[in-house]
Amino acid sequence: MARIVMKFGGTSVADLDRIRNVAARVKREVAAGHEVAVVVSAMAGVTNQLVGWCQALSPLHDAREYDTVVATGEQVTSGLVAIALQEMGVEARSWQGWQIRLLTDGAHGKARIDRIEGAELIRRMGTGQVPVIAGFQGIGPDNRVTTLGRGGSDTSAVALAAALLADRCDIYTDVDGVYTTDPRIVAKARKLDKIAYEAMLELASVGAKVLQTRSVELAMKARVRVQVLSSFQDLPGTLVVDEDEIVEHAIVSGIAYSRDEAKVTVRRVPDRPGIAAAIFGPLAGAGVNVDMIVQNVSADGTTDMTFTLGRADLPRARKVLDDNHATIGFVEILDDPDVAKISVVGVGMRSHAGVANTMFRTLAEKGINIQVISTSEIKVSVLIGAEYTELAVRALHTAYGLDAG
Ligand code: ASP
Ligand code: MG
């Protein structure tokens, strides 16, 4: 007998038939003798609509009222799944964040979980009852509903798995696991049986949108075994686990891409102490998240500073730089929104040399120019022209021996 948290994403609860399908899956685990807690997302499309309504009324709406509105999507599904379970003869009860007491900080719209009072849920699971928990939401220090940021019900599920001392957290979604790369781009992409937390974290943060990044961070910290699997098929998914559990290590486990980037070059700034702070301080102050940075050599006492950021932040970044022209002292600013970031990720890189070189050589052979490079212990990222995204991902997938046979 195990204790399992089963989390169902928006497409898995998109209509009443799918909700019945979810209930049947839960019933099967209960019948097998497991203690089960269910975490649900809003029905597909619902959160987008709720967010849209808030924005339509007021672009700068009050974040507390935004949370009041968007948290309702999960309230609906928690009740519906509980009803479907009861209809199948499974004892079930819905729970909102405030009822459990899933306590968060006060950052409305992107709150972080501080603590979960799990004792009552554990007690009820012990009597055979299935708690059906509204994901994505909690309660803040102001005693009001908070939400955890888009995709946050993954984080709810992992946090609950930790608090309830679950043996596993199964994340049911519309894909059947974590792939070596996006199967829509590379037909030969392979599903991974297992992936290490660290590698999953890098993949999630560089654009593989299977799990919310924060949920992986939390799983790694609390050592929660996570499984990503499809609610539409009966297949084992991908286990996200500790490195030690993985016997056979591929050097590279996946290739991710992101087209949401833009590149900015601040041309001919004086090369003096404090110039980076003069540029990046005001950007950070304006909430602009900068990713890759290169500073070029200076020949004449000036230098060029190139960096990347989310494309949506480009107009704001340009304004901040223009506003600070006097203190930065640049000659001009160039920007390029038509770029993509390609990342090669794998924990095996720690012990193998030459991974970056394989990447550079492969891209060179395809005539793809690399604009910016950044590396971490288990990741190499390059910035290239957006039009080469597919070509680069396919070539790299082959070069690292990831293609399915
Ligand atoms: N319903 C929320 C969203 O769409 C939370 C989630 O699905 O994880 O972002
Ligand atoms: Mg999701």
Q: Does any ligand 1 atom lie closer than 6 A to the CB of residue 10?
A: yes
* Residue whose pair of structure tokens reads 């980037």 in the numeric block: 261
Using most ligand atoms within 8 A of CB, pick from 8, 11, 12, 41 the residue to mutate for ligand 1.
41
Q: Does any ligand 1 atom lie closer than 6 A to the CB of residue 153?
A: yes
Distance 371 CA to ligand 2 centre (A): 32
Residues near ion ligand 2 (Cβ under 5 Å): 9, 151
Q: Does any ligand 1 atom lie closer than 6 A to the CB of residue 41?
A: yes
- The answer to whether residue 207 scores a pLDDT higher than 70 is no
- CA separation for the pair 283, 279 (Å, rounded): 7
The candidate with the shortest Cα–Cα distance to 202, out of 379, 38, 340, 373, is 379
| Average pLDDT over every residue of 128-147 | 98
Distance 147 CA to ligand 1 centre (A): 9
Give the closest residue (by CA) to ligand 1 atom 6.
151
- 171, 149 in Cβ contact below 8 A? no
- 260, 208 in Cβ contact below 8 A? no
Residue 78 buriedness (CB in 10 A; 0-12 / 13-18 / 19+): buried
Confidence of residue 246 (pLDDT cuts 50, 70, 90): confident
Cα 106 to Cα 82, 96, 138, distances in angstroms: 29, 17, 10
For residue 209, the model assigns a pLDDT of: 77
Distance 76 CA to ligand 2 centre (A): 17
Question: Can you give the pTM of this predicted structure?
Answer: 0.87
Confidence of residue 353 (pLDDT cuts 50, 70, 90): confident
Q: Between vectors from CA 248 to CA 190 and to CA 181, what angle results, nearest 5°?
A: 25
Considering every ligand atom, which ligand is closest to the CA of 78?
Answer: 1
For residue 287, the model assigns a pLDDT of: 87
Considering every ligand atom, which ligand is closest to the CA of 45?
Answer: 1
How many CB atoms are located within 10 Å of the residue 45 CB?
Answer: 12
Q: Does any ligand 1 atom lie closer than 6 A to the CB of residue 42?
A: yes
- The answer to whether residue 75 scores a pLDDT higher than 90 is yes
Domain boundaries, the chain: 3-174
| Average pLDDT over every residue of 300-304 | 92
Q: Which atom of ligand 1 is nearest to the CA of 148?
A: 5
Confidence of residue 299 (pLDDT cuts 50, 70, 90): confident
- The answer to whether residue 329 scores a pLDDT higher than 80 is yes
| Average pLDDT over every residue of 169-191 | 92
- The answer to whether residue 16 scores a pLDDT higher than 90 is yes
Distance 256 CA to ligand 1 centre (A): 22
How high does pLDDT run on average in the chain?
95
Q: How many CA atoms lie within 13 A of 162 on its CB side?
A: 20
- CA separation for the pair 261, 193 (Å, rounded): 30
- CA separation for the pair 290, 270 (Å, rounded): 21
Question: Which range among 78-87, 220-229, 294-303, 382-391 shows the weakest confidence by mean pLDDT?
Answer: 294-303
**CATH top-level class of 3-174:** alpha beta
For residue 248, the model assigns a pLDDT of: 74
* pLDDT tens, residue by residue, 182-201: 988 999 999 999 999 999 99
Distance 248 CA to ligand 2 centre (A): 29
Distance 363 CA to ligand 2 centre (A): 32
Considering every ligand atom, which ligand is closest to the CA of 210?
Answer: 2
For residue 271, the model assigns a pLDDT of: 92
Confidence of residue 131 (pLDDT cuts 50, 70, 90): very high
**Percentage above 90 pLDDT, the chain:** 89
* Residue whose pair of structure tokens reads 């098929």 in the numeric block: 233
Label the pairing between strands 92-95 and 130-134. Answer: parallel
Give the closest residue (by CA) to ligand 1 atom 9.
150
- CA separation for the pair 96, 74 (Å, rounded): 8
Considering every ligand atom, which ligand is closest to the CA of 10?
Answer: 1
How many CB atoms are located within 10 Å of the residue 402 CB?
Answer: 23
- 352, 364 in Cβ contact below 8 A? no
Distance 159 CA to ligand 1 centre (A): 15
- CA separation for the pair 278, 284 (Å, rounded): 11
Q: Between vectors from CA 190 to CA 23 and to CA 262, what angle results, nearest 5°?
A: 95
Confidence of residue 297 (pLDDT cuts 50, 70, 90): confident
Q: Which atom of ligand 1 is nearest to the CA of 41?
A: 7
- The answer to whether residue 351 scores a pLDDT higher than 70 is yes
Is residue 88 helix, strand or coil? coil
Distance 148 CA to ligand 1 centre (A): 9
**What is the gyration radius of the CA atoms in the chain, in angstroms?**
23
